[in-house]
Amino acid sequence: MNIFKQLFSSTPAVDLSTLIKEGAFLVDVRTPGEFAEGHVKGSVNIPLDAVQAQLATFKNKKNIIVFCRSGGRSSQAKSILEQNGFSNVVNGGTWMNVNQFVK
């Protein structure tokens, strides 16, 4: 897969379905208002601007999937988490993308 496809592909290179089945920590980084309008069952809402302050919430999670409306804020959240030592973070893209894998 070329670098352009890796960066801009609508389907992540990782298997979200498997990670979700294995109990990944699902984090919606949209605003509380957006979350209230619809969200992935079993996900928690930690808005992007609160991720840094909520780092303890992410500790001891086997896999973490972050997502939002378009994939932009989740990309930022993934970077924040990685800068703080988390290597098990996947940008799931949009909440609707992640939602299709949740039963």
Q: How many Å apart are CA 43 and CA 56, to the nearest integer?
A: 17
Closest CA to 29 of 47, 11, 10: 47
Closest CA to 90 of 7, 19, 22: 19
Contact yes or no for 32/50 (Cβ under 8 A): no
Which of the residues 16, 46, 68, 81 is marked catalytic? 68
Task: Based on the residue annotation, tell me whether 68 is a catalytic residue of this protein.
Answer: yes
Which residues face 65 on adjacent strands? Answer: 26, 90
Q: How many Å apart are CA 61 and CA 87, to the nearest integer?
A: 11
User: Which residues are tagged catalytic?
Assistant: 68
